[in-house]
């Protein structure tokens, strides 16, 4: 019972923060303050009482509808709170109560916000990635597994690699194939994870992106105009490295040597 309670508390904390992340996801792209005014229903515009705004529980109890006007509310709100809770448990199990837990909780929270904004608007706000680079680099002085020099190389490598790819694509095709937001996001990832994290993130992000892209082409046809943002795939690759990076690197080395 005690062990379960220890895990329930991080989940509750993560879900509560996830509720705030939903505010960020909704307000940042349209230029609204994330501090005020209090949360309100996107349909009727009325302020939501606290008892209708309890993470996860309120959504389930109200069956996905506003408690005031009964208009349907996107399941995205429930999903973000649930994902945030699960990630908080995972971080707690990996790092315990430590500085790393706080630093990477901020990192994962940023990736969640970036993912959902990029999926809807195809943008990655500078207000997330640029401060994230600074925070990641500052945190590296207190995280032995990253170290500040590794973080600095990660920032330069992350931003530099995607900038080079984007510039080459533009030069060869005359079209912009990658936005500046992706470049800054990979710089932020490099700040938190170091240069190895940049490599793993790029490989996993590109691989997963290619799979999803191929599926969309098969589903909608080769001439599909459905844009595929790269940010969510970079976020996926970064999260995979954070939790499984060293194991993935060892597996790759063993596989490559064995081949």
Question: For residue range 97-145, what is the model confidence (pLDDT) as tens digits?
Answer: 999 999 999 999 999 999 999 999 999 999 999 999 999 999 999 998 8
pLDDT beneath 50: ranges in the chain: none
Nearest to 239 by CA among 98, 129, 84, 111: 111
Same structural domain, 241 and 135: yes
* Whether 185 and 243 share a structural domain: yes
What pLDDT was estimated at residue 226?
A: 66
Same domain for 14 and 114, yes or no, is: no
Residue 50 sits in the same domain as residue 105: no
Answer yes or no: do 190 and 102 share one domain: yes
**Whole-number pLDDT of residue 161:** 78
Q: Omega of the bond prior to 129 within 30 degrees of 0, cis?
A: no
Report pLDDT for 221. Answer: 64
Spell out a b/e string for 181-193, using b for 16 or more CB atoms within 10 Å of the CB, else e. bbbbbbbbbbbbb
Residue 103 and residue 48: Cα distance in Å, rounded? 31
Burial 127-136 (b: 16+ CB within 10 A, else e): ebbeebbebb
33 lies in the same domain as 150: no
Q: Are 121 and 216 members of one domain?
A: yes
**Sign of the Cα pseudo-torsion (105, 84, 73, 68, in order):** negative
Q: Name the average pLDDT for the chain.
A: 88
Rg (CA), the chain: 20
Domain boundary among 97, 129, 154: 97
Quick one: how far is CA 153 from the chain centroid? 21
Residues 126, 2 share a domain: no
Which of 79, 97, 115 is where one domain is finished? 97
Neighbours of 170 (CB within 10 A): 13
Return the closest-CA partner of residue 68 out of 50, 84, 52: 52
Q: Do 73 and 194 lie in a common domain?
A: no
Q: Does residue 102 sit in the same domain as residue 77?
A: no
pLDDT tens across 215-224, in order? 877 776 665 5
| pTM, two decimal places | 0.90
Considering the domain architecture, whether residues 104 and 93 belong to the same structural domain is answered as no
Domain count, the chain: 2
What range defines the domain where residue 112 resides?
Answer: 98-259
Distance of CA 204 to the CA centre of its chain: 14
Cα–Cα distance, 209 to 228 (Å, whole number): 8
Domain stops at, among 97, 129, 160:
97
Query: Are 242 and 193 spatial neighbours (Cβ–Cβ below 8 Å)?
Result: yes
Same domain, 202 and 137: yes
Q: What is the pLDDT of residue 47?
A: 87
């Amino acid at each position: 019972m005690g062990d379960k309670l220890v895990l329930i508390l991080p989940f509750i904390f993560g879900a509560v923060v996830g509720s705030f992340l939903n505010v960020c996801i909704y307000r940042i792209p349209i230029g609204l303050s994330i501090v005020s005014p209090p949360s309100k229903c996107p349909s009727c515009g009325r302020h939501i009482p606290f008892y209708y705004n309890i993470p996860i529980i309120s959504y389930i109890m109200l069956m996905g509808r506003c408690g005031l006007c009964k208009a349907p509310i996107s399941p995205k709100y429930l999903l973000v709170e649930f994902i945030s809770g699960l990630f908080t448990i995972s971080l707690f199990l990996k790092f315990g109560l430590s500085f790393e837990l706080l630093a990477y909780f901020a990192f994962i929270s940023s990736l969640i916000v970036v993912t959902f904004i990029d999926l809807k608007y195809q943008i990655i706000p500078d207000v997330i990635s640029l401060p994230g680079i600074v925070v990641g680099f500052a945190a590296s002085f207190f995280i032995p597994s990253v170290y500040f020099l590794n973080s600095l190389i990660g920032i330069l490598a992350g931003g530099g690699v995607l900038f080079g790819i984007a510039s080459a694509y533009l030069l060869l095709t005359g079209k912009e194939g990658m936005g500046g937001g992706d470049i800054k996001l990979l710089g932020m990832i490099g700040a938190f994870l170091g240069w190895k994290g940049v490599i793993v993130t790029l490989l996993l992000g590109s691989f997963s992106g290619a799979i999803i892209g191929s599926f969309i082409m098969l589903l909608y046809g080769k001439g599909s105009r459905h844009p595929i943002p790269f940010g969510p795939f970079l976020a996926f690759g970064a999260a995979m490295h954070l939790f499984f990076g060293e194991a993935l690197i060892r597996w790759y080395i063993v596989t490559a040597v064995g081949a």
